[in-house]
Amino acid sequence: MNKNKPIWQRALYALRGLKIAAREEASFRAELWAVLAAVAFLLWAQVALWWWGLALLWMAMLLAAELLNSAVESLADLVSPEFHPLVARAKDCGAAAVFVLSSVGVALLLLILSQHFRGGGG
């Protein structure tokens, strides 16, 4: 594959990756739903702009981690279709990255809720 393709063509590869993930990866679809729910919550709570910035950063990191986890799993399955402890470790670490970001998302939600209900929306 030629790595010196125009940026628009490389962007098409990235969009193809998003389409594949959305179609074939249940975990990625679940994370997309979480992101949509977070956007709906932020709109409902009418949070300050800086909360939006934090939340958007979290959303991007969560989706990116899920995409990278899916990529690692695909490569691991290609390299070693049968069980291997190193492959299991790689998959578990990828899943852990998504779990960490999901946990941070819950913490962020709780922080926003505490600010919202205390009347300190900023």
Catalytic residues: 66
> What distance in Å separates the CA atoms of residue 53 and residue 104, rounded to the nearest whole number?
15
Phi, psi at 119, each rounded to 5°: 85, 10
Give the closest residue to 70 by CA, choosing from 22, 35, 15: 22
**Number of other residues whose CB lies within 10 A of the CB of residue 66:** 25
